[in-house]
Structure 1
Amino acid sequence: MPAVSRVLPEDQDATVTQLRPGSPDIANLMLGEFLRQCREERGLKQADLAYVIRASVSKVSRLERGESPPRPRDVDDLVEYMKLSRQERRTVERLLDQARDSRWYQKFSDVTPTYLRRLIALEGSAREIRTYENQVIPGVLQTREYAVSLARAVRRNEREAERVGELRQERQKYLREARLHRNLRLTALIDEGVLRRPRGGARVMLEQLEFLLQQFDAKRTNIRIVPFDCVGDVAPPYAVAQLDFPSEGPADIVYVEHINGADYITRADMVDKYRNDLHQLMRVAADRAESKRLIRKAIGRLES
């Protein structure tokens, strides 16, 4: 269930956040939305908060819309003024940390759009990641050369494509450490068709599939192939990732990526729907042994 349950009006669109290149940072948006919810639950107006932080109403409005970077001092003053609970304070602290985060992935900002960069940041705080891919191997399981081959299809600059490969390696290292030290669980559901698309050519695809086989033995990693004859009625026609967070973290989210942007979904009932969809996919997916057999079969086709 979501870490912080928020029941919103049916017509509330703020919990489906559409990000495009140049959009406000998702952490700013999530923090602003959470502060707005806390304010409205207490019957306060934006003018009340503006007085507390010695600012204009328009500044509070921009803060709640995620359009301006939050100042820690302002956030602390609002937390005290609204008398947030201990759990609400922990949520604000986590979101504020994410909003001002400058960790390892920032050095790849030149080759990573904002909407994807924030997903990578949020992955580091999750307790469980579930992902479904119907076109490519999930990014968290891609080899460097496979990632570079995908990047070359959309980038003319070879150096940029190589840096995308470096990002994939750093991301895997970070999540591997999280699985070892924070008990992060990763479930990857992969459409069988992905195994038959030799991205980057036979050599690159062979290396990728062999790496995928090795990951079956990785700690707290669950890889399942969704066979062709199972996807029709239950599989979404797009890739989706769902992140669950600890109780002191932000609300659980669903990430749905498009060709030039992404949706971040945080409303509890919508997150639960996607969670149930992924559980249903898991039920029809091949078991561990059959999934490995399907990957080996794909390897055999490339080697023949």
Structure 2
Amino acid sequence: MASRRSPTARHRRLVAELNRLRENSGLSRVEVAERIGSTDTTVWRYETGLTRPRPSDVSALTDVYGVTGEARDSLIQMAVEARRRGWWHPHRQALKPGFDSYIGLEAEASLVRTYEPLVVPGLMQTEPYARAVIEATSIVQTPSEVEETVSVRISRQELLHRPGDPIHLVAVLDEAVVRRQIGGRDIMSEQLEHLVRLGGLPNVEIRIVPFSAGAHAAMDGKFCLLSFPDPEDPDLLYLEQAASGLVPDDPNQVHRYTSMFGSLCDMALDTETSVAFIAQMARRFSSR
């Protein structure tokens, strides 16, 4: 399914490299466009990510910027990989706008840090729980679209079990997540038992922010931070609303939410206590 060579992530890196190379060259977009026989609008679209350049376009740009050898080959290969379609591409119509891009970036991430105030994160949901959440929140989706969305959500979870290279997940959950009954007692009990099992994996950390912690900086809503294996790829922030998802292109925003996540971790129960609390809640839901 997913691999670390995600087209979306490759495109993000390519955009950053093209911007860096032009800035270092001292050339304007108009000057670059003249040298490759194109328009400044096209160069702008390459540099803003609105258009994915063909490998031949990138080859022409490397000639302008004087990039040779392995560096040139690497950029052209990025362009090849960026134009491929990820496994999620056929399902874009069933997803909220922007979420397909997030899936593509998540596929290449090495670390996911997520805060959820209301529901279990998608990477950790059982199929019945996921279906109950999607049915409740997807007011305009048809039954077939609901099932397609459920399938995509479950497919993403392979990242946690990727042989030899699983993604590392740190999930901070509000206490409400494990108390709110979604889909009935049996579904909720199964979901919480699943969380307990996930909490036993070496690449998964679960932390509960108890009600007793009081007010905190993340009360405005959920968010997710992605980190990548290559240090040249900066961390990324994903914010989700009811009808769309957003990836703010602002390092200050990333820094703010990184600090916010650290604050949440300071307020949360430790991993062992958190998992024990989840297990306790699972028993409550399973009792008749």
Which category describes the TM-score, using the shorter chain as reference length? 0.7 to 0.9
The CA distance in 2 between the partners of 1:280 and 1:87, in whole Å, is 42
Match of 1:299 in 2: 282
Corresponding residue to 2:142 among 132, 139, 157: 157
Match of 1:36 in 2: 19
The alignment status of 1:243 with 2:226, answered yes or no, reads: yes
Letter in 2 for 1:196: R
Q: Given the superposition, is the C-alpha separation of residues 136 and 108 from structure 1 closer, same or farther in structure 2, using an over 3 Å criterion?
A: same
The CA distance in 1 between the partners of 2:220 and 2:81, in whole Å, is 30
Letter in 2 for 1:241: C
The alignment status of 1:73 with 2:56, answered yes or no, reads: yes
Query: 2:198 aligns to what SS in structure 1?
Result: helix
Letter in 2 for 1:169: I
Aligned-residue Cα RMSD (Å) equals: 2.9
CA-CA distance at 1:269 after TM superposition: 3.6
The CA distance in 1 between the partners of 2:69 and 2:218, in whole Å, is 39
Larger CA deviation: 29-38 vs 253-262? 29-38
Tell me if structure 2 keeps the 8 A contact 1:90–1:249. Answer: no
Count of equivalent residues = 278
Match of 2:264 in 1: 281
CA-CA distance at 1:92 after TM superposition: 5.3
Q: How does 1:1-304 map to 2 (within 5 A)?
A: 31-32=14-15, 34-83=17-66, 96=79, 99-153=82-136, 154=138, 155-177=140-162, 180-182=163-165, 184-230=167-213, 232-247=215-230, 250-304=233-287
Larger CA deviation: 108-117 vs 27-36? 27-36
Larger CA deviation: 261-270 vs 57-66? 261-270
The share of aligned pairs that are identical, in percent, is 29
Letter in 1 for 2:155: E
The CA distance in 2 between the partners of 1:85 and 1:135, in whole Å, is 51
CA-CA distance at 1:47 after TM superposition: 1.5
Tell me if structure 1 keeps the 8 A contact 2:160–2:203. Answer: no
The unaligned stretches of length 5 or more in structure 2 are: 1-7
The CA distance in 1 between the partners of 2:12 and 2:187, in whole Å, is 38
Tell me if structure 2 keeps the 8 A contact 1:145–1:204. Answer: yes
The CA distance in 1 between the partners of 2:221 and 2:18, in whole Å, is 32
Q: Given the superposition, is the C-alpha separation of residues 228 and 181 from structure 1 closer, same or farther in structure 2, using an over 3 Å criterion?
A: same
The CA distance in 1 between the partners of 2:32 and 2:105, in whole Å, is 28
Letter in 2 for 1:160: E
Q: Given the superposition, is the C-alpha separation of residues 269 and 156 from structure 1 closer, same or farther in structure 2, using an over 3 Å criterion?
A: closer
Q: Given the superposition, is the C-alpha separation of residues 293 and 174 from structure 1 closer, same or farther in structure 2, using an over 3 Å criterion?
A: closer
Q: Given the superposition, is the C-alpha separation of residues 57 and 159 from structure 1 closer, same or farther in structure 2, using an over 3 Å criterion?
A: same
Q: Given the superposition, is the C-alpha separation of residues 143 and 245 from structure 1 closer, same or farther in structure 2, using an over 3 Å criterion?
A: same
Match of 1:10 in 2: none
Per-residue CA deviations over 1:142-163 (Å, capped at 9, x if unaligned) read 1111111122121441121112
Per-residue CA deviations over 1:181-222 (Å, capped at 9, x if unaligned) read 225321111111111211222222121111111101223111
The unaligned stretches of length 5 or more in structure 1 are: 1-24
